[in-house]
Every structure is written in structure tokens, then in C-alpha cells.
Amino acid sequence: MIDIRFLRENPEAVKENIRKKFQEEKLPLVDEVIALDAESRRIKQEADELRANKNKISKEIGGLMAQGRKEEAEAKKAEVAAQSKRLAELEAKEPEYQEKITGIMMKIPQIIDPSVPIGKDDSENVEITRYGEPRVPDFEVPYHADILEKLNGLDKESAGRTSGNGFYYLIGDAARIHSAMISYARDFMIDKGFTYCIPPFMIRSSVVNGVMSFAEMEAMMYKIEGEDLFLIGTSEHSMIGKFKGQIVNEAALPITMTSYSPCFRKEVGSHGIEERGVYRVHQFEKQEMVVLCKPEDSMDWYNKMWSYTVEFFRSLDIPVRTLECCSGDLADLKVKSCDVEAWSPRQKKYFEVGSCSTLGDAQARRLGIRTKGEKGTYYVHTLNNTVLATPRGLIAFLENNVNEDGSVNIPEALRPYMGGKAKIG
């Protein structure tokens, strides 16, 4: 959510930002919110003047009564009563206007960084850099579900009976690799100086509205029936929500945290749920990184964060690339974002395994997360990045480490978490 003062003073810049995101249907919102804001400020000014005038007249009434001028005092009382009635009407309108303004402001996208490439959708995202040499072995790499089944490690049929489509059982060494990757990702980030945290896996609607747009919430979140609780789609939601309504000590910035959680997503859309494999599912696990920092430090942290994910996957012998998200592919709260994609030797192309974003002060402004320093009180900047989301990370690992006989090599970094094994199969 952008600053109302910025919108008030720079309406054309806000409209141009909307055009860059190819959301022309939102252009009328700018003029609408400006009109509502002007009326809201007029109401507030009139209310303030009435309060001041009431106080002034009340003092006059006391003086008139002391002088025995009762008729004049009674006239003043009638004037105060009329003003009180008008003030009550205005005070009832003030929150109504503020609610309308906030509702519209939450639909207007955040101002994107000037470096963001302009494009309509993810097909126009721009490759930045590749890390590691993409390899295609001299044998046909099996589909990841086949690799897992050869390890006796995947059971979607039973999960279909217990939970429906989009769920799975991981078993034996496959489950162990999954857990090993998560544990390694945790320790990898702790070694980078991040504080480890396990957050709540459910959050209230006030937090949901603070961390994401309405469209994202509708497409992603599972609602707990009869309660004001949602299952998290990523631990970033509850990690940022941890600071809701707080004034953070400026000396404590940056706050750097890495969090583990299961994640739950509807996966509503044209892509649907994957029938056979585990690339797109309703439930997965994730190691995330979250940073709260001063505005002037946010871009430095953005570049550090995605580079950590690249380093993590390269330590597992997985070639990756970074992809700059274009304007039309950015969620409304994001200032800048890039995807980390892993190489698939089976498909001979890259696929997404993580995403890094800086949201400026959008989440902090919605949730009231501020800090106080020499320059006064201001909103912090928030950033988030995927260290590892699995089973997608597991798919990348399996495809890049499988052997022709179906066995899977275990990179050195994972062996301490796999009982020292160099290979499974």
C-alpha cells in the first residue's frame, strides 16, 4: 500500500505505474481515492473547527452564568447543542471515509523499482545469469515420480484415499532425503547469520490482509471454517505478522530470520494440480528467509538473499539461473522480484524452485510495522526469499543426481543428514 500523500501529490506517477503493470482497469481508482481523500480531509477540518468552537463557547457560557446573563447563556447552550449534533454526524462519517480510502488504496499496486523490465506476464521475464553447467546425461532421465517409485518412496494412491488429489506420501529414503534437504537448508541459513524460527502455521485475517493482495488470498489461502484463521501459504506471512503494530528498535535492524513451516495452497488456476507427480500440490514444506531493514538497505539485502539460494542449490550440484520478473508478473505489493530456477535434465529446461522479493514498505504500512531513529518514526522495508521449497527442490535434486540404474548420488553437503550415505537405491 503506497503512501496516500505520495498518491495525492503524484497521481500521474501512480497511474503510469498501473499502466506498466497492465492493470488499466484500476486507473479510475486513483481519481476515486483522491476525491474521497479530499472529502475526508474537509470533514476532519470541519470537525476540528467545531471542537475548537465548542470549547470556546463552553468557556463563554461559564462567564455569562457568573454574570447572571442567563438568557445569553441559554442561547449559547443551544448553539453548542446544534454544533454537537453536527459534530456527531461528522465523527460518524470520518471512519466510513477512512475505511473506503484504505479499501481502495489496498487495490492500487506498489510503485515498482525503475530497474524492473516492462512486460505483460511471466513469458516476458528476463534471464539474468546462469550458475553451473546444465548437463544432459547419455541416458534418459526418468520422470521424478518414476525415480521416487523405483526407490519405493512415493504413494499418491493412498494419499488420494485419505486426502484427495494434490497430496502424497513420501516413504523411506525418499522421505529421508526430503527431510535432509530441509535440515541442511536450515543450517545453511543459520551459518549465514539468520535466526532460526518456527512460526504459527495459522494466521488471522488482519495479518493475511497485511501481507498479500486480495487476489492472491483468494487463489491461495485455505480458510478455517467458523474461525478467523487461515492456513499459511508460506511462513513469510506469519513471520512478517510477528511484528504487526510494533515499533522496532532501529538499532536491532536488520532483523534477519530463517523459518521452517509446512505450507498449504489451493493452487486455483489454469495450471491445476499435478495428477501423477509432486511438482504442484496442496501441501509442501519450506525453508524461508525474511528480512526487516532500513529503506536504504533493502536493495543490498535483496541481492544477498537471492544469491544465498543460488549458493544453496549449487552446493547440491544443481545448475540454476536467475530470472528477473517483469512488471506484469509482479504481485501488487512487490517492488522487485526474481525467480531462482533449477535445471531439469529430463525436460532440458529450467523450472522455478524459489522466489526473492522486496516489498518496500507495503507490508509494513499495512501492518503498522515502524522503527524510530534520529530522523523520526518511519516504516521498515520487508523482504522474503525461498531457501528451499520441497518437493520442488527434491525434484531438482533427483533429476540432477540420478544414475542410469535408478540409484541417486548424495552430494557431500547432504551426507551428514543421511547417515553418511554417498548413494541410495
Is 246 domain-assigned?
yes
Cα separation, 121 vs 271, whole angstroms: 15
Query: Same domain, yes or no, for 98 and 155?
Result: no
Cβ atoms 386, 340 nearer than 8 A: yes
Return the CATH number at 49.
Answer: 1.10.287.40
Residue 88 counted as domain residue: yes
Query: What is the reported pTM?
Result: 0.89
Cβ–Cβ < 8 Å for 23, 30: no
DSSP state for residue 405 in the 8-state scheme: T
DSSP 35-85: HHHHHHHHHHHHHHHHHHHHHHHHHHHHHHHHTT-HHHHHHHHHHHHHHHH
| Whether residue 68 is found in the same domain as residue 11 | yes
| Spatial separation of the C-alpha atoms in residues 382 and 368, rounded to whole Å | 12
Is 162 in the same domain as 84? no
29 and 146 belong to one structural domain: no
pLDDT at site 272: 57
Q: In 3D, which of 139, 138, 119 has the Cα closest to residue 127?
A: 119
For the record, the C-alpha cell of 254 comes out as 536488520
Tell whether 228 and 334 lie within a shared domain.
yes
Of 188, 168, 192, the closest CA to residue 180 belongs to 188
Together in a domain, 98 and 184: no
Evaluate whether residue 113 is within a structural domain.
no
Print pLDDT tens along the chain (425 aa): 899 999 999 999 999 999 999 999 999 999 999 999 999 999 988 888 888 887 787 777 767 676 777 777 777 777 777 778 888 888 888 889 999 999 999 999 999 999 999 999 999 999 999 999 999 999 999 999 999 999 999 999 999 999 999 899 999 999 999 999 999 999 999 999 999 999 999 999 999 999 987 677 777 889 999 999 999 999 999 999 999 999 999 999 999 999 999 999 987 654 556 678 899 899 999 999 999 999 999 999 999 999 999 999 999 999 999 999 999 999 999 999 999 999 999 999 999 999 999 999 999 999 999 999 888 999 999 999 999 999 999 999 999 999 999 999 999 999 999 999 999 98
Half-sphere exposure of 18 (CA within 13 A, CB side): 20
Task: Give the model's pLDDT for residue 302.
Answer: 98
Residue 60: predicted pLDDT: 74
* One domain for residues 198 and 82: no
pLDDT the model gives residue 270:
47
Task: Kindly state whether residue 116 falls inside one of the protein's structural domains.
Answer: no
Would residue 339 count as lying in a domain? yes
Cell numbers linked to 281 = 500440490
Q: Which amino acid does the sequence have at 416?
A: P
Amino acid identity of 348? K
Residue 112 maps to a domain = no
Claim to verify: residue 30 and residue 170 sit in the same structural domain? no
- Please report whether residue 111 resides in a domain: no
How many structural domains is the chain composed of? 2
253: left (phi over 0), alpha (psi -120 to 50) or beta: beta
Q: Which CATH number characterizes residue 378's domain?
A: 3.30.930.10
CA distance 48 to 42: 10
Last residue of a domain, one of 49, 75, 105: 105
Q: 299 is in which domain, residue-wise?
A: 122-424
Do 261 and 344 lie in one domain? The reply is yes
Res 268: pLDDT: 61
* End position of a domain, from candidates 74, 105, 136: 105
Say if residue 100 is in the same domain as residue 140. no
Q: How far apart are CA 72 and CA 83, in angstroms?
A: 17
Same domain, 338 and 400: yes
In a domain, 27, yes or no: yes
Specify which residues 337 forms β-bridges with.
Answer: 357
Could you tell me if 87 and 173 lie in one domain? no
338 and 212 Cβ atoms separated by less than 8 Å: no
* Spatial CA neighbour of 204 closest among 182, 184, 227, 220: 227
